[in-house]
Amino acid sequence: MDDSIELMDGSFITPRNVFDAMDTVEEYLGTDFRQFLESYFIDGTETGPVDTDDHYMEVLKNLDDISSRMEGILIKKPMKKDDLQCTLEQLRVTINHELRKKL
């Protein structure tokens, strides 16, 4: 029997091979992250240390993108409560991820 994996949003996937798992990575984390993992698997080496200033600028840009999307939707029409909660959860997850890295 295949193993099912529960994702953080509560859904389940049953990857039949590594490509199924990588498709899920791409769906939830984006193409850039999938390509990063693929290059790591191929090369077997990690990339060099990340410049902290560049990293935090990227995090701030991501937070700004999420809040700008929310603002754009709110300008057009009121957001449904579930959509608003989902967007706020994206902000919270991004912030908490960065906080955990600092602890």
As a whole-number percent, the residues of the chain with pLDDT over 90 amount to 0
What tokens appear for 77 in the block?
């029409």
CA dihedral of residues 51, 55, 61, 67 (deg, nearest 10): -160
Mean pLDDT of 5-30: 84
Q: What pLDDT score does 1 carry?
A: 45
pTM comes to: 0.40
Q: What pLDDT score does 101 carry?
A: 66
Q: What pLDDT score does 44 carry?
A: 65
